[in-house]
């Protein structure tokens, strides 16, 4: 089992768990299925389009995504690998671990993902635009890279107060432990 108890909240910046590189998943079991179900609940409750395992405190190569919010569009990506990145486009992104922070991030317009689904079956897809952006954003989380690492100087200045508030809030929570 990946976790003793299922996560109850999304991990927020600057929690160090967001900076850890994740480990592969080897067991495709009921514990993994329960974690994935909880991740979808948390992503949808936060009105997100993707959520990576480190964002719920689990350092494993796993993320969920849904670009439309429709249940039939839920997708799970386990031990994913991106390749064939083509073109570039800049667009606004947010992140559930950075509430209210928005930034213009340059990403590949199209890419390929190879991964495993919840049953361990292989996935091999090509995504464009929003789907490609989601995959790239969530893959960043799996390797400890955050939206703040990709911000240009203008976005860092524009979000300075929000980032400082998140850092202060984390510091207060850490002292209470």
Instruction: Look at residues 79, 84, 72 and name the one whose alpha carbon lies nearest to residue 132.
Output: 84
Determine how many CB atoms are found less than 10 A away from the CB of residue 99: 15
Q: Which of 23, 26, 138, 167 is catalytic?
A: 138
90 is catalytic: no
Give the integer Cα–Cα distance in Å for 82 and 139.
8
**Whether 59 contacts 23, CB under 8 Å:** yes
Rounded to a whole number of angstroms, the CA Rg of the chain reads 16
Which residue is it, tokens 């809030």? 169
Catalytic residues: 138
């Amino acid at each position: 089992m990946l976790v003793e108890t299922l996560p109850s909240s999304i991990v927020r910046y600057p929690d160090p768990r967001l900076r850890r590189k994740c480990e592969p998943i080897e067991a495709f079991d009921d514990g993994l299925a329960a974690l994935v179900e909880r991740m979808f609940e948390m992503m949808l409750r936060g009105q997100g389009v993707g959520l990576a395992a480190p964002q719920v405190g689990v350092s494993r190569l796993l993320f969920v995504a849904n670009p439309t919010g429709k249940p039939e569009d839920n997708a799970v990506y386990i031990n994913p690998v991106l390749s064939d990145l083509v073109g570039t486009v800049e667009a606004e992104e947010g992140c559930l671990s950075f509430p209210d922070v928005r930034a213009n991030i340059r990403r590949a317009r199209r890419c390929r993902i190879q991964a495993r689904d919840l049953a361990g079956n292989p996935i091999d897809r090509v995504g464009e635009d929003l789907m490609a952006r989601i995959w790239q954003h969530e893959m960043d989380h799996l390797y400890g890279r955050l939206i703040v690492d990709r911000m240009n100087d203008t976005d860092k200045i524009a979000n300075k107060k929000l980032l400082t508030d998140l850092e202060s809030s984390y510091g207060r929570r850490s002292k209470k432990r």
